[in-house]
Amino acid sequence: MAKAAIKQQKAEATEARLAGLTLPESGAWAREAREAALERVRSMGLPHRRDEYWKFTDPTSLTAEEPPQASVFETGEPPLFDGVDRLKVVFVDGVFDPEASDDLSLEGIEIERLSEAMAKDIHWVRDLYGKIEGASHEKVDRPLAAFNTAFATDGVVIRVTGKPSKPVSLVYLHKSERSDAILHHCVKVEEGAELTILENGPAAARFSKGLEVDVADTGAFHLVRAQGRDHERRAVTGTFARLGRESTFKTFTLTVNGVMTRNEAYVELTGDEAVCHIAGACLGDGRDFHHDATVFVTHDAVNCESRQVFKNVLRNGATGVFQGKILVKQGAQKTDGYQISQSLLLDDDSTFQAKPELEIYADDVACSHGSTSGAIDADALYYLRARGMAKAEAENLLTLAFVAEALEEIENEAYAEELRERLAGWLERRRDRAAG
Amino acid sequence: MLDIKGLKVKLEEEDKQILKGVDLHVEAGKVHAIMGPNGSGKSTLSYVLSGREGYEVTEGSASLLGEDILDMEPEERAAAGLFLAFQYPVEIPGVGNMTFLRTALNSQRKARGQEEISSADFLKLIREKAKNLQIEPEMLKRAVNVGFSGGEKKRNEILQMAVLEPKMCILDETDSGLDVDAMKLVSDGVNALRDEGRGFLVITHYQRLLNHIKPDVVHIMSDGRIVKTGGPELALEVEENGYGDILNEVA
């Protein structure tokens, strides 16, 4: 198909999708922000299968008018982070649930619902909402992120002024098989302040989430999230961050199950000596599993460090995708950039596609990237079996060990251990299923 | 204890016969040594007995305590009481040494219908065994064999042997890469495990290990067969004259 024809087709498809939608009610500044985002969607066009950035992931189900049905999965397990002392904020199918949530007050932060903030004429979040997302299209179009900014119906905005004693825990419950949730959160971490957000749950049949984080000088932000265990759910998420001097930004994402996941991250290191770690692990079983981690880190200051660590375990025809880029702008000297994406393919049917990229305009930097995919190490497996472990047990132990490297990126050991235990359970259930 | 009869083995990948008819009988309570030049098939014998992939048994049998082991999975052989101390212990990043040992021990116990050992009992057991081999607690916390020196790896093998308490121990070139002190430590560890109910097969190229682990019977292996069997004096003969004389003599 010719380029012009694709463009035409994209424009038509975009208009058709937007035709039935109206921007949610909001105050003046928010209306402006939404309209600007909508304009971005129009000018970029919704993603098309032929788009380079969507080469490995078919966006059709993410842009379709109606989300495909997704049954609700009862895990029979206690919810993740249940034992953690936290400020719980619950969304059911993308709608804030005040009954199930804690009182939104915690020393060191100001937190309120997005809709409330948007109804106000004057609000600090005006300078953040849609701003980092809006800046993220410089090199690559992210129309679904702009779409999220335009149409988000709920979310939280958090201003972090101190060091709260506990994390904010966003709990996303999925109860309706046709729910189509669009959430957008904004977090502003003031100078020297610190916040950890825990996210957990499938959220909806189809979930679009935007998270914009502005970390001021010497601030710190941590995100540990797990995307639930629902098999049929779809999710497209965008994490956008801007980092000030000597600030820290670390995220870890665990994805198990789900027919479609596209997690994008876009981080700008704009202050000297900022640190950014983006890590993830995904475990997929079956032909219907598709997971895509797409990361873009821009170094625009000196002496900054960035790490991308992704581990995928794929079996029975599952598909994993990694697109990771490190962009080092002119003058971003002494950049230390690292990127690794690895997949453990437990059979010949599973697929991992990786597109690691470096684009460097400074001459005094250390950047490296690597990507591997392979089977379980035969020597290690033999060694464990020779010591008495059954094959499936040895495979699980080696698989957990493989994923452990990504889990180690989580600073808080208790959270890491909790996720590790869930992973072990996931592997064990599959082992038992395989054993019949 | 261990009975090997007319064992012939070839490599699966290429049509190459490695073992050409091995007969060996190791009694409980005895230490047998197999010596031989490089390429004689010593290590292949240990791999085939422990169940490594890539080898095809074309003839013969091997049984442990009367049970045919050649059709068993490696883990079944381990549960039946067979242990191979590897010449090249495998590094396993991400798996802690303690987790590895406890999982292995409990797997074997489960396979034998025994109760799993509790964390507290296991800790006590491993501390005691590690102390005897001068293994620092720090080494137990590290990933299996990762960053271990040659000597540490071999001591770790013996530690596993001490914890798993197998009936039949095969030591494949356990002396390779060891200095004199490490060899003494490893040998002491092995000797501590010698008892009436346990058999040993010590595979080595050199006689020096046998100064520390005194064998009852010494076999010379060459070109896939055991060509000569004798007492400890046979090892000394190798030490003095090399393999040449013995091999000429049997040829």
Q: Tell me the pLDDT band of B92, cut-offs 50, 70 and 90.
A: very high
Residues of B in contact with A382 (CB under 8 A): 51-53, 74, 90
Query: Which of the 8 DSSP states describes residue B240?
Result: H
Torsional class of B239: left (φ above 0), alpha (ψ -120 to 50), beta (otherwise): alpha
Q: Are B101 and B59 in contact (CB under 8 A)?
A: no
Distance to chain B for A402, nearest Cα, Å:
7
Question: Which of A49, A58, A44 has its CA nearest to residue A14?
Answer: A44
Are B74 and A385 in contact (CB < 8 Å)?
Answer: yes
Task: Please indicate if any CB of chain B lies within 8 Å of the CB of A361.
Answer: no
Name the residue ranges covered by the structural domains of chain B: 2-250
Cβ partners under 8 Å of residue A392, min gap 6 = A431, A434, A435
Among B53, B79, B95, select the one facing A397 at the smallest CB separation: B95
Task: Please indicate if any CB of chain B lies within 8 Å of the CB of A435.
Answer: no
Residues in chain B whose Cβ is within 8 Å of chain A: 50-53, 73-75, 77-79, 84, 86, 89-90, 92-95, 99-100, 103-105, 107-108, 111, 143, 160, 164
Are A388 and B90 in contact (CB < 8 Å)?
Answer: no
Kindly list the distances between the CA atom of residue A328 and the CA atoms of A138, A181, A243, A255, B78, in Å, as whole numbers in the listed order.
Answer: 14, 35, 15, 29, 54
Question: Which of A183, A202, A245, A198 has its CA nearest to residue A220?
Answer: A245
Q: Check residue A273 and give its pLDDT.
A: 98
Most B CBs within 10 Å: which of A309, A311, A313, A383, as the mutation test of the B interface?
A383
Percentage of chain A with pLDDT > 70? Answer: 99
Among B52, B93, B104, select the one facing A387 at the smallest CB separation: B104
3-state secondary structure chain A: CCHHHHHHHHHHHHHHHHHCCCCCCCCHHHHHHHHHHHHHHHHHCCCCCCCHHHCCCCCHHHHCCCCCCCCCCCCCCCCCCCCCCCEEEEEECCEECCCCCCCCCECCEEEEEHHHHHHCCCCHHHHCCCHHHHHCCCCCCCHHHHHHHHHCCECEEEEECCCCCCCEEEEEECCCCCCEEEEEEEEEECCCCEEEEEEECCCCCEEEEEEEEEECCCCEEEEEEECCCCCCCEEEEEEEEEECCCCEEEEEEEEECCCEEEEEEEEEECCCCCEEEEEEEEEEECCCCEEEEEEEEEECCCCCEEEEEEEEEEECCCEEEEEEEEEECCCCCCCEEEEEEEEEECCCCCEEEEEEEEEECCCCCEEEEEEEEECCCHHHHHHHHHCCCCHHHHHHHHHHHHHHHHHCCCCCHHHHHHHHHHHHHHHHHHHHHHHC
Q: Which amino acid is at A364?
A: D
Kindly list the distances between the CA atom of residue B148 and the CA atoms of A310, B96, B135, B158, in Å, as whole numbers in the listed order.
Answer: 27, 13, 11, 14
Residues of B in contact with A380 (CB under 8 A): 90, 92
What is the dihedral angle through the alpha carbons of B98, A428, A78, A259, rounded to the nearest 10 degrees?
130
Are A397 and B99 in contact (CB < 8 Å)?
Answer: yes
Q: Tell me the pLDDT band of A295, cut-offs 50, 70 and 90.
A: very high
Residues of A in contact with B146 (CB under 8 A): none
Q: Check residue B68 and give its pLDDT.
A: 94
* Mean pLDDT value of segment A190-207: 97
* Mean pLDDT value of segment B156-180: 91
Residues of B in contact with A378 (CB under 8 A): 53
**Statement: residue A336 has pLDDT above 60:** yes
Distance to chain A for B236, nearest Cα, Å:
33
**Statement: residue A436 has pLDDT above 70:** no
Q: Are A359 and A325 in contact (CB under 8 A)?
A: yes
Residues of A in contact with B103 (CB under 8 A): 389, 393, 397
Cβ partners under 8 Å of residue A131, min gap 6 = A212
Percentage of chain B with pLDDT > 70? Answer: 100
DSSP 3-state percent helix, strand, coil across chain B (nearest 5): 40, 30, 30
Are B89 and A383 in contact (CB < 8 Å)?
Answer: yes
Task: Please indicate if any CB of chain B lies within 8 Å of the CB of A398.
Answer: yes
For B26, phi and psi rounded to 5 degrees? -105, 120
Residues of B in contact with A394 (CB under 8 A): 75
Lowest mean pLDDT among A1-5, A273-277, A424-428, B231-235: A1-5
Taking the mean position of all CA atoms in its chain, how far away is CA B182?
17
Q: Check residue A435 and give its pLDDT.
A: 60
Among B78, B93, B103, select the one facing A386 at the smallest CB separation: B78
pLDDT in tens, A27-63: 889 999 999 999 999 999 999 988 999 999 999 999 9
Going across the sheet that includes A87-92, the strands are A95-96, A87-92, A168-173, A194-200, A220-226, A248-256, A275-285, A305-315, A336-345, A366-374
Task: Please indicate if any CB of chain B lies within 8 Å of the CB of A400.
Answer: yes
**Across the A/B interface, how many CB contacts are shorter than 8 Å?**
76
**Statement: residue A168 has pLDDT above 70:** yes
Task: Please indicate if any CB of chain B lies within 8 Å of the CB of A431.
Answer: no
Question: How far is A209 from A151, CA to CA, in rounded Å?
Answer: 11
Q: Check residue A434 and give its pLDDT.
A: 67
Q: Which A positions 62-101 lie with beta carbon below 8 A of chain B?
A: none
Query: Which of the 8 DSSP states describes residue B3?
Result: E
Among A382, A386, A389, select the one facing B103 at the smallest CB separation: A389
Residues of A in contact with B95 (CB under 8 A): 397-398, 400-401
Are B73 and A379 in contact (CB < 8 Å)?
Answer: no
pLDDT in tens, B207-250: 888 888 999 999 999 999 999 999 998 888 888 888 877 788 77
Question: Which of A227, A271, A282, A229 has its CA nearest to residue A249?
Answer: A271
**Statement: residue B118 has pLDDT above 70:** yes
Q: Check residue A77 and give its pLDDT.
A: 85
Q: Check residue B123 and give its pLDDT.
A: 92
Residues of B in contact with A374 (CB under 8 A): none
Q: Are A46 and A13 in contact (CB under 8 A)?
A: yes
Q: Among the ranges A184-188, B50-54, B87-91, B224-228, which has the highest mean pLDDT value?
A: A184-188
Question: How far is A180 from A171, CA to CA, in rounded Å?
Answer: 16
Question: Which of A239, A264, A31, A256 has its CA nearest to residue A151?
Answer: A31
Among A378, A383, A390, select the one facing B107 at the smallest CB separation: A390
Taking the mean position of all CA atoms in its chain, how far away is CA A186?
14
Kindly list the distances between the CA atom of residue A230 and the CA atoms of A173, B37, B128, B133, in Å, as whole numbers in the listed order.
Answer: 10, 60, 47, 50
Residues in chain B: 251
Q: Check residue B244 and give its pLDDT.
A: 79
Question: How far is A340 from A283, CA to CA, in rounded Å?
Answer: 17
* Mean pLDDT value of segment A185-205: 97
**Statement: residue A210 has pLDDT above 70:** yes
Classify B60 as helix, strand or coil: strand
What pTM, to 2 d.p., does this model score? Answer: 0.90
Question: What CATH class does B2-250 carry?
Answer: alpha beta
Chain B residue whose CA is closest to A376: B92
pLDDT in tens, A362-414: 999 999 999 999 999 999 999 999 999 999 999 999 999 999 989 999 999 99
Kindly list the distances between the CA atom of residue B54 and the CA atoms of A89, A345, A346, in Å, as whole numbers in the listed order.
Answer: 56, 21, 20
Q: Check residue B186 and give its pLDDT.
A: 87
Q: Tell me the pLDDT band of A96, cut-offs 50, 70 and 90.
A: very high
Average pLDDT value over all residues in chain B: 91
Question: Which of A338, A247, A263 has its CA nearest to residue A295?
Answer: A263
pLDDT in tens, A116-153: 999 998 999 999 999 999 999 999 999 999 999 999 99
List, in sequence order, every residue forming a beta bridge with A231; answer none if it has no partner: none
Going across the sheet that includes B67-68, the strands are B17-26, B2-11, B55-64, B67-68
Percentage of chain A with pLDDT > 90? Answer: 89
Most B CBs within 10 Å: which of A309, A340, A384, as the mutation test of the B interface?
A384
What is the dihedral angle through the alpha carbons of B137, B140, B142, B145, rounded to the nearest 10 degrees?
130
Task: Please indicate if any CB of chain B lies within 8 Å of the CB of A372.
Answer: no
Average pLDDT value over all residues in chain A: 95
Chain B residue whose CA is closest to A399: B94
Among B52, B78, B86, select the one facing A388 at the smallest CB separation: B78
* Mean pLDDT value of segment A279-294: 96
